Chain A
Amino acid sequence: MSAGPGKLPVIVTAKVKLNDLVTRFEFAHADGKPLPPFSGGAHTVVEMRDGDVTRLNPYSLMSDPVDPTHYAISVRRDAAGRGGSMFLHDKVQVGDRLVLGTPVNLFALDLTARKHLMIAGGIGVTPFVAQIKQLQTTGGAFELHYSARSQALASYADDLRAAHPKRVKLYLDDQSQQIPLERLLSGQPPGTHVYVCGPRGMIDWVLATAERLGWPPEAVHSEEFLAPQSGKPFDVELAQSGKTITVGEHESLLEAMEREGVDAPYLCRGGACGQCETGVIAHDGTFQHHDHWLEDDERDGSKIMPCVSRFEGTRLVLDR
């Protein structure tokens, strides 16, 4: 039993370029079996074997959650990233076999809400596409406010607006349109929950505005996947495994452990879920915490999230 989520062998059934940045990939089960249903907002971790390098990147599922015939993800090309999105865009073709993690949801709809107010920035629209499909079957009230750089880069905006003309509103940066957040968050009926997925700046803006207007924290939901950042190589002693490993410049601590055969737990690989939290036994140096998980008083050298965080110094011993 692996410490991560279960595995699904799949075959790429479609690769659809939506615009200059975003391509949609569709997958079916490699053995023709039904894919497990998921809930809107769930993501899957895509395993990519690129020569000697294995990358595991999380992407939000955007297909119909109850359709067992296929999964779909939309991937934004990130030339400055570590190569996962470029690999999918440039090397993965229809007919290729891949392995996906079973869906995990860290951004689920709260179904006790009377209304769902969704705020999306750019590619952050993808979890909402699945959530809206889910809400169509249950009749849940929602509004989507979707901000994109330009009409051409507003992936799925036309489909969403055609299907839900009164519920989906698009705001385009190149036309100086901005989501009227203050007004939106000041006029929602009791029982509304707000969800935001997009760039860090947008998430911070929504969280801060909601807090200032008195929104209870449990009615405010956000999701941002962090890509592990590159950094200087560093050595780590793994006390339980009895190994000393070197984390390379362009790999994460979690990836380095996996490369060395250490079965470390993970779910989101993006600093959000907390599954990979690891105790620090000893250290001499400084941590570069990049996660959304640890409390401030845990960042003093007692814990680290190996999926996104790094270390610079002479010695690091982990309880793994």
Chain B
Amino acid sequence: MSRFHFPPSIHSRPVYGTLAPRAGAAQIMLADAEGAEAILSVAQADPELMRRAHVIYIPKGTGDRFTDPLRAAAPDILHIAPSYGACTQRLHRVFSAAPMGAQIYLAGTEGLIGQAMALALQIGIPKSAIQTEHRGSVARRVQCVHCKGITEDVMTDPFQCGHCGLNLFVRDHYSRRLAAFQGVCIDAEDPGNVPAPVELYS
């Protein structure tokens, strides 16, 4: 099962729901890795809706495990992208061309959901038109508050910033603008005193 129930945390920390089919002038779906399962459950609930859907999917190491079932669900458009970065231009165009009433479905990892959410809001899509469902990895997209570099798919706490090399404590404090959790130097006052990294939610 690819669902993980995040323990309650501070208000800043995003919470996710469960995708459900919704009537709308357009149906736009974006998922990575196990997020495909959430899209497939929408397709199962409403196969007709799926026939009007534009699906963008990033397998992210799952090979063709989900691409074949997604193809079988017969969306209007299915675009397979190698990474989020590789599909941002397409996503920008699709969101910008979406009429009011379009329904947006985001599923998969927090990094993907957060970045696509920020892009959609920036384009003017109302928040209430966007549904999210977390699936798969609990890895986080983290911004180093010191050098501002963003590291994708952080799995441990603390971790070493991929940009400046500081040892960062991963907070639940989240930036919706940046779609990133905040990483703060853990050994600033006692350099070198760094606890052993622990896998997130282990």
Contact = CB atoms under 8 A, between A and B. Distances in A.
Given A185-B100, A185-B101, A210-B101, A216 B124 contact: no
A242 interface: no
Given A214-B129, A215-B100, A190 B95 contact: yes
Contacts of A185: 25, 100-101
A150 B182 CA distance: 62
B55 interface: no
Contacts of B79: none
Contact of B96 (A190, A214, A216): A190
A57 interface: no
Interface of A: 114, 185-192, 194, 210, 212-219
Contacts of B100: 185, 188-192, 194, 213, 215, 219
Nearest to B27: A214
B56 interface: no
Contacts of A213: 23-25, 100-101
B109 interface: no
B150 to A, nearest CB: 26
Nearest to B127: A216
Given A186-B25, A191-B124, A216 B99 contact: no
Contacts of B98: 190
Contacts of A189: 96, 99-100, 124
Contact of A188 (B96, B99, B123, B129): B99
Contact of A214 (B95, B101, B123): B101
A198 B183 CA distance: 54
Nearest to B24: A214
B46 to A, nearest CB: 13
Interface string B9-48: 0000000000000111100000000000000000000000
B160 to A, nearest CB: 39
B23 A214 contact: yes
Contact of B125 (A191, A210, A217, A218): A191
A192 B96 CA distance: 12
Contacts of A216: 126, 128-129
Interface residues of B, number: 19
20 contacts: A114-B124, A185-B25, A186-B25, A186-B99, A187-B99, A189-B96, A189-B99, A190-B102, A191-B100, A191-B123, A191-B126, A194-B100, A210-B101, A212-B23, A213-B23, A213-B100, A214-B24, A216-B126, A216-B128, A218-B128
A187 B101 CA distance: 9
A172 B167 CA distance: 70
B92 to A, nearest CB: 11
A217 B102 CA distance: 13
Interface of B: 22-25, 95-96, 98-103, 120, 123-126, 128-129
A219 B126 contact: yes
A190 B23 contact: no
Given A190-B99, A194-B100, 8 more contacts: A114-B124, A189-B124, A190-B98, A190-B102, A191-B125, A191-B126, A213-B24, A213-B101
**Most chain A beta carbons < 10 A, residue from B25, B98, B103, B120:** B25
Contacts of B102: 190, 214
Contacts of A212: 23
Given A186-B99, A188-B100, A190-B98, A214 B22 contact: yes
Contacts of A210: 101
Contacts of A190: 95-96, 98-100, 102, 120, 123-126
**Most chain A beta carbons < 10 A, residue from B24, B95, B99:** B99
**Most chain B beta carbons < 10 A, residue from A190, A210, A214:** A190
A185 B128 CA distance: 17
Contacts of A114: 124
A215 B25 CA distance: 8
Contacts of A218: 126, 128
B126 A214 contact: no
A243 to B, nearest CB: 46
Contacts of B22: 214
Contacts of B124: 114, 189-191
